[in-house]
Amino acid sequence: MRVFLDTNVLISAHATRGLCRDVLRLVLAEHTLITAEVVLTELERVLTTKFKMPIDVVRDVVDPLCEHHVEPRPETIGALVVRDPDDAWVLASALAARAEVLVSGDPDLLVLAETIPELHITNPRGFWDLHRRP
Q: Give pLDDT tens digits for 42-79.
A: 999 999 999 999 999 999 999 999 999 999 998 887 77
Question: Given this model, what pLDDT does residue 134 score?
Answer: 56
Residues of the chain with confidence (pLDDT) below 70: 133-134
Total domain count for the chain? 1
- Residues 92, 80: contact at Cβ < 8 Å? yes
Q: What is the CATH number of the domain that holds 124?
A: 3.40.50.1010
> What pLDDT does 133 receive?
63
Taking a C-beta distance cutoff of 8 angstroms, is the pair 38, 10 a contact?
A: no
pLDDT, position 24: 97
At residue 114, the pLDDT reads: 87
Distance of alpha carbon 56 from alpha carbon 78, whole angstroms: 36
Residues 6 and 90: beta-carbon distance below 8 Å: yes
HEC-encoded secondary structure of the chain: CEEEECHHHHHHHHHCCCHHHHHHHHHHHHCEEEEEHHHHHHHHHHHHHCCCCCHHHHHHHHHHHCCCEEECCCCCCCCCCCCCHHHHHHHHHHHHCCCCEEECCCHHHHCCCCCCCCCEEECHHHHHHHHHCC
Q: How far apart are CA 42 and CA 7, in angstroms?
A: 7
Query: Quick one: pLDDT at residue 79?
Result: 74
Measured in degrees and rounded to the nearest 5, phi and psi for residue 71 equal -75, 130
Which residue range forms the structural domain that includes residue 25? Answer: 2-132
